[in-house]
Amino acid sequence: MKHSKIKFQLSSKELKFQVENLSEASFCFFLIFILSIVCILIPLFIEELNMLNQVFIDEFGQ
């Protein structure tokens, strides 16, 4: 878990560095790209939380 968080922090720093060097049009495109990824990932994350919640209820809710 710690390793993946460190990787994410490094990649976000690299992304911030790249954003500073982009023009406004490229920045807008980049922003739309990130938002589309977030919109795809959020439902998957919610689905994962629901599965974990169901497992928790099954094990401890008796």
How many Å apart are CA 21 and CA 42, to the nearest integer?
28
Q: Which residues of 37-56 are buried (b: 16+ CB within 10 A; e: fewer)?
A: eeeeeeeeeeeeeeeeeeee
Assessment of whether the complete model's pTM goes beyond 0.85: no
pLDDT band at 7 (very low <50, low <70, confident <90, very high): low
**61: Cα separation from own chain's centroid:** 30
- pLDDT at residue number 12: 60
62 vs 54, which has greater pLDDT? 54
pLDDT tops 80 at residue 10: no
pLDDT tops 80 at residue 62: no
pLDDT band at 36 (very low <50, low <70, confident <90, very high): very high
